[in-house]
Each structure stands twice: as C-alpha cells, then as structure tokens.
Structure 1
Amino acid sequence: MRCFLAIDLDENIKDKIFSLYSNLDIKGAKLVEKENLHITLRFFGDSNEIEIIKKLKRIKMNAFEIEIHDIGAFPNERFIRVLWVGVHSKEIYELIEKINNIFGKERFEPHITIARIKTSSHLLSEFIKKNKNVEIGKMVVRKIVLKKSTLTPTGPIYENIEEFELNDNR
C-alpha cells in the first residue's frame, strides 16, 4: 500500500491557503485540491502499513503549535517544480528526528505543497515574490496521521489509515 505520514490542517488554515492560490491559472501547474492540503512528515511509498503502525506507536511527544507562513519553491525559485507554503516550529523538527530514529534519516523541510509544476513560468516567480512573506496563521498539532495514497488520472485520493494522538499538555 502506498502511504505517508502527515499532519492534517485545521479547516480555517486550509481555507486561507486555498484562497491564496485557487485563482492561480498557469499552464503546467497542477494545483492541490483544498481537501488534500496537509503537511507530509514522511513518505513510505509501497510499504507494509502494519509494520509502520507498530513502529509509529513508539513515538511519544506533546502536542505543539506551528506557524504557517511564507511561499517558496523546490528545488529553487528559478527552477520551480513544487510550490509550497512554509511550516515553522522547533517541535516539528523534534518530531521528524523521532521519525528518522525509527525509520532512518531522511532530509526534510516542513511545508505544505500547493502546486506541482511541469513547466516553470515567470508568472510563478511573480506569484512567489508577491506572496513570499504571507502570514497564514497558527495551529496546534494534536495528532499525526498515516494516510493511504491512491493515484488516479484526476489526482491522488487520500484515506486515513491510523491516527496517533500526541500528549495534550496544552
């Protein structure tokens, strides 16, 4: 099963992010549907979800707050393949370290993908410049979610497999 570990976003955060890019009309840009907005923590690909669930149950961490702001691109702003909104918090890096300790080290930059790009455009660069320092908001992360990803011609379909609650000390 093709799966990944994610943080689901609050609806008000999804609304703010989606309103930012929903009118972006650029040839070669595949916009992420609002209901699919999330923060990917780890992509497992085709994996045994039972083993993954067993390992994820070992993660112990308190709920934490994240700040969502800034627009950027991977691999860089001159050669754009992914358009993203930034996620900021020292605790998210602590969570990633715990995940890496269990599943092996993997480079990670917290972000929310808003579009995948086939051909770069000066309009994308303008969009990034205009929104580079955009402030979306804050939210508390209370759980992480293992999701199944089914690829279809119209885009991926995500389904929750298992939720892992963080200690709610807030």
Structure 2
Amino acid sequence: MTQPNEKQVRSFIAIPVPDEGIRALKQVVADFDPEIGRYVRWVRPEGIHLTIKFMGNIPAGIVERVLGVLPLLTANLSPFSIQISGLGGFPNLRKPRVLWAGLDGDLGALRALQLEVDGAVADIGLPKEQRPFSPHLTLARVRREVSDGQLRKISEVVASGEIFATPAWTVNTISLMRTELDPAGSRHYLVGAASIGG
C-alpha cells in the first residue's frame, strides 16, 4: 500500500557491465567523438548498464517490495553468458535518436530473465512492458536540434564504426538502481542486488 505524498524514486533493474566491457565502449566513444560528439550527448561510462526493466518514478515503498522479490525470482534461474557485439541506433540508423552497442551470447536466457522480472514487478502492481525487449547498451542520445545532414553524418560514422567483440562474461547478478537527474546527465546508484542461481 502506498502512502499519500510518499517519496518517488526513479528506478530500474539492470545487469552491470564488467570493466572490460566499459573499456571497449570508452574506446568506441573516443573514436566517434571527434566526428559526431557535438551532435550527441554521451552516456557517462560508469552509467552504462543493460536495462532489464525501467520502472520510472515509483513510491519508495514499492522500491522496497521490488528489492524483496528479486532474490526469490533469481534463485530459480541459472547464470548465463553474454558479450558486447555490434553498433546501431534506435529507432533505426537512418534517423537515430539513440546510439547503442548490441549484445550476443545466450540471448534466450537473457530474454527469460527479462520476462521473469517483468512478471514479478507486475505482480507488485507496476505496468508490464508493452514493447518487445531489445537488449542493448545506450552509448549516446542524439541532440534534438541536429539537422538532417548531421543525422546522416551520425548514421555514416556509426555504420562504419567497429566495436571489437568483448570476451563473454557470466551474468550472475541483477541490480536494482535509482537515478538522480542533473544538468550534466543521469547518475545511477545501487539500491541492492540479487544473485542469479541463489
């Protein structure tokens, strides 16, 4: 039961990216920045994560309930492996609004985890995800004021860019995070974590 005027917490559930993956993504940003840096807002490297469920602003009491249910659902799952592979844009690379790095590996297990999490938070009263799950790591958001020519430039640079496939890592933890927004960009803080497989 939520209380009137209860504090709202901007929160999400995510898989952390290992240091080796972050280093590879930093290199991509360093390669792209001279050509397209003025057209995009880069995500801070320490803020890059694989979002499993974005919950938005929810009451603090609901955050506590989500934290309580995560270990129950992850105990019945098994760790799995994924790796960073490929680059792209949403909604597409012709007119991108978001630039991302893709993932490869045991995507079936990743999707199963996402469905379990989505179902568990729906049982608490949060809305289920309506869009298909599209696993990715957000690298940048394209600035609103860019021209069509600048969008073409972004598309060309990303399409011709490379990210070397990182070594696979074992996903054995999911994290409940809270976000604080500031003019320099979002900052994410760990609320709690649950181990996959107990």
**TM-score, length basis structure 2:** 0.78
Q: Structure 1: where are the runs of 5+ without partners?
A: none
In the TM superposition, residue 133 of structure 1 has moved relative to its aligned partner by: 7.1
In the TM superposition, residue 100 of structure 1 has moved relative to its aligned partner by: 2.3
Alignment of 1:110-129 (within 5 A): 110-118=135-143, 119=146, 121-129=151-159
Aligned-partner Cα distance in 2 for 1:121–1:134 = 24
Q: What's 1:94 paired with?
A: 112
Cα distance change on mapping 1:124 and 1:67 into 2, 3 Å? same
The ranges of structure 1 where at least 4 consecutive aligned residues each deviate by more than 6 angstroms after the TM superposition are none
Which of these two proteins has the greater Rg computed from alpha carbons? 2
Letter in 1 for 2:56: G
Encode CA deviations 1:3-32: one digit per residue, 9 max, x unaligned.
Answer: 000111110110011111224242230011
Letter in 1 for 2:27: S
In the TM superposition, residue 122 of structure 1 has moved relative to its aligned partner by: 2.1
Encode CA deviations 1:61-120: one digit per residue, 9 max, x unaligned.
Answer: 111100210101101111111000112322101101111222344231000000011235
Aligned-partner Cα distance in 2 for 1:136–1:32 = 19
Aligned-partner Cα distance in 2 for 1:73–1:137 = 23
Aligned-partner Cα distance in 2 for 1:18–1:71 = 13
In the TM superposition, residue 53 of structure 1 has moved relative to its aligned partner by: 1.4
Instruction: Identify the match of residue 134 of structure 2 among 74, 88, 109.
Output: 109
In the TM superposition, residue 132 of structure 1 has moved relative to its aligned partner by: 6.1
What's the C-alpha RMSD, in Å, of the aligned pairs? 1.8
Q: What's 1:166 paired with?
A: 196
Aligned-partner Cα distance in 1 for 2:164–2:111 = 22
The count of corresponding residues between Structure 1 and Structure 2 is 168
Indicate if the aligned counterparts of 2:15 and 2:175 stay in contact, CA closer than 8 A. Answer: yes
Letter in 2 for 1:164: A
Q: What's 1:10 paired with?
A: 18
- Structure with the larger helix share: 2
Q: Structure 2: where are the runs of 5+ without partners?
A: 1-8, 123-127
- Structure with the larger strand share: 1
**TM-score, length basis structure 1:** 0.90
In the TM superposition, residue 57 of structure 1 has moved relative to its aligned partner by: 2.7
User: Identity, % of aligned pairs?
Assistant: 26
